[in-house]
Chains A and B, each alone.
Chain A
Amino acid sequence: MFKFLENLPARVYLAVTALLAVAPLLVTLGSQPFYLDLLTRILILAIAAVSLNLIIGFGGMISLGHAAFIGIGAYCVGIPAHYDIFNGFIHLGLAISCSAAFALITGAISLRTHGLYFIMITLAFAQMLYFTFVSLDEYGADDGLIIYQRSDFNGLLNLENPTTLYYTVLVTLLGLLYLMHRLVHARFGRVIIGCKHNEKRMQALGFDTYRYKLTCYVISGTICGIAGFFLGNFTNFISPEMMDWTHSGELIFMIVIGGTAGIFGPVVGTAFFLLLEEMLSGLTQYWQLIFGLVLILLVVFGKGGVHGLLVWADTRQTAQAQPENDS
């Protein structure tokens, strides 16, 4: 039953999860509500990062436009709220259907291409959406919209309460991680992983790879739309800036620091990224320089991110333990 606990990454991830579960308590004890905000932000962006990792880490589709889905989800809260519609079911329903539709349309076109083309086309579509919202004066254009009231789920959930919001996001993230775990081990996931490694072979095995990849892209975009829904609620403010392509770049940064090979990696990466940002930006206004250098060094010298590091430490440990057992 607890056999999975024998490997190091699993132990670390379980500890992180446990810590996250009791975090609000610790924060309240230390009366530092600011940290609850930071943690909530980490969890929300972790949802986005996990969704991005589904297409990049498992499917090999490098999208540089994922922030667009965050924007769509957030505007699906902000625009109805602008017209005094605060019903959370409508907000969430819109976020899911709009991000799915955007993923379907742009994915259908982008996935006809490969490699460099795909990267740049996803980027271009996201910028298209960005500039579209910049030009919409009705919804605040560049300045965006303020959301005066969070999504209302008929009293089922009170998202105005920071702790409730935190736990809602946490439960969503954990549910998502379980879903991902099932998905990548199920038939669909095997096909997606196969496509990443050798798409031509998958076609020769009889798989209509275009459709499987498109389905995967839509699932990923929709989940990221849900992250956007939470982010809109959390920040109480939305603007086109949320979907700027630099944020898509940051999301990739997060999943790569965490490691793209595992399911939990993106969560660790997001936490690492946001905590580092918090720390460095407190020290110097030029923190982005350090970020940039970390990124460059990470690519040129390191591989596999935190997850890779944990796996490496684990195998080293076992390798050292082995000879002792033999003697």
Chain B
Amino acid sequence: MILKVENLNKSFGGILASRNLDLQVEEHEVHAIVGPNGGGKTTLMAQLSGLSKPDSGKILFKDRNITPLSTHKRVHIGLASSFQITSIIQSMTMLDNILLAVQSLQGHSYKFWAPVSGDAGMRETALNVLENVGLGRQADTVAGKSSHGEQRQLEIAMALALEPDLLLLDEPTSGMSKEESGEMVRLLKKMKGEKTILLIEHDLDAVFALADTTSVLVDGRILATGTAEQIRSNPKVQQAYLGEETA
């Protein structure tokens, strides 16, 4: 078990976004979290990545209590996240965006003299990451000028470049066309078995195509966890969530 969430509680102005939430993620699985809007998915993600702190409860990562750790510290023990709202550095090239991640992996950046562009090793590592997500040819494109689909790919590539043990993806197909979304699913499928991935996703086709395990998050707590088949046939889930979709 790589990630264990125990009894997580978080409220915003009286609304409980997480209530006694428990969750477990096994190594090398793709674990999807689905649920209706306002069910607390984004709040959960924010607490896992360290952007917000739970009111109570514990987050264990590789058997270590990481609840008090800030975002940047979590990255360096192997927990990387990508955002639902694309958060790439728009004015930099694709390559420069990835170089930032590579730079972060290589220890501190209190280096004031040697230009980054002169570091062939770093460049090669970054180019490899771009190749892997299929952006190899766009390395020198300014990130903000590429298509939405490519920006989403870059968003995920930045997290991948951190070589995490657990990758948190917040709606990787957010705002994508059907085609782009299929491309993203193919990309994520390639990583299956190698990486542990925890993702939030809206597109249920994508979820059932990708995930080994799916958890349903409703009203701030996990309603059910299981394989795609188990989730689909679970009457509680149908009532609370899937029911609306088919109705």
* Contact in complex: B88, A182 (CB < 8 Å): no
Interface size class of A (residues with CB under 8 A): 20 to 34
Tell me the bound Cα distance from A230 to B75 in angstroms: 44
* Contact in complex: B100, A186 (CB < 8 Å): no
* Contact in complex: A204, B75 (CB < 8 Å): yes
Interface size for B (C-beta < 8 A) is 36
Q: Does A115 sit at the interface, judged by CB under 8 A? A: no
With a CB–CB cut-off of 8 A, which chain B residues contact A200? Answer: 51, 83, 87
* Contact in complex: B100, A191 (CB < 8 Å): yes
* Contact in complex: A182, B72 (CB < 8 Å): no
* Contact in complex: B76, A206 (CB < 8 Å): yes
If A206-B162, A207-B104 touch, whether A182 touches B75 (CB-CB below 8 Å) is no
Q: Does A187 sit at the interface, judged by CB under 8 A? A: yes
* Contact in complex: A190, B158 (CB < 8 Å): no
With a CB–CB cut-off of 8 A, which chain B residues contact A206? Answer: 72, 75-76, 80, 101, 104-105, 162
* Beta-carbon nearest neighbor of A182 in chain B: B113
* Contact in complex: B103, A187 (CB < 8 Å): yes
* Contact in complex: B114, A204 (CB < 8 Å): no
Tell me the bound Cα distance from A215 to B110 in angstroms: 9
With a CB–CB cut-off of 8 A, which chain B residues contact A187? Answer: 103, 109-111, 114, 116
Minimum distance in angstroms from B154 CB to a CB of chain A? 11
* Contact in complex: B109, A207 (CB < 8 Å): yes
Q: Does B13 sit at the interface, judged by CB under 8 A? A: no
* Contact in complex: B115, A186 (CB < 8 Å): yes
- List the interface of chain A (C-beta within 8 A of B): 182-183, 185-191, 193-194, 197-198, 200-209, 212, 215
- List the interface of chain B (C-beta within 8 A of A): 49, 51, 70-72, 75-76, 80-83, 87-92, 96, 99-101, 103-105, 109-117, 158-159, 162
28 A-B residue pairs with Cβ-Cβ distance under 8 Å, sorted by A, are A185-B115, A186-B112, A186-B113, A187-B103, A187-B109, A188-B110, A190-B96, A190-B99, A190-B100, A190-B109, A191-B103, A197-B89, A197-B90, A197-B92, A200-B51, A200-B83, A201-B83, A201-B87, A201-B88, A204-B87, A205-B101, A205-B158, A206-B72, A206-B162, A207-B109, A208-B70, A212-B109, A215-B110
